[in-house]
């Protein structure tokens, strides 16, 4: 069966309908228990980040606007090497416990 064929589209549509029906059933059954509250537990790393203030860094609205405009214009350049280097650096900082 080819993707995009009428048979494939029909099976995808049927699957989507089945999932939507199942989701509605879950919502209905959980709606009766709406008086219960959910409990969320943070990992030790997430708690460290929250407590250190690392998530409260400076926000540059102008930079966000420039990036959004570049994306709209189709001129935004992605540098995968720079992204990978920063991810590795951040992971090393978290593992070593340093904040340099």
- Beta carbons of 30 and 36 less than 8 angstroms apart: no
Say what the pTM is.
Answer: 0.34
In this prediction, residue 1 carries a pLDDT of 43
At residue 30's C-alpha, the angle toward residues 25 and 35, to 5°, is 160
**Token duo for residue 4:** 């995009």
pLDDT of 45-78, one tens digit each? 888 877 776 666 678 899 999 999 999 999 999 9
Q: How far apart are CA 61 and CA 7, in angstroms?
A: 48
């Amino acid at each position: 069966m080819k993707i995009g064929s009428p048979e494939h589209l029909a099976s995808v549509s049927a699957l989507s309908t089945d999932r939507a029906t199942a989701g509605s059933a879950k919502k209905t059954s959980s709606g009766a228990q709406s008086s219960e509250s959910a409990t969320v537990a943070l990992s030790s790393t997430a708690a460290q980040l929250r407590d250190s203030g690392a998530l409260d860094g400076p926000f540059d609205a102008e930079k966000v606007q420039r990036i959004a405009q570049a994306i709209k214009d189709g001129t935004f350049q992605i540098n995968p090497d720079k992204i990978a280097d920063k991810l590795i650096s951040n992971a090393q900082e978290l593992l070593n416990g340093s904040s340099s």
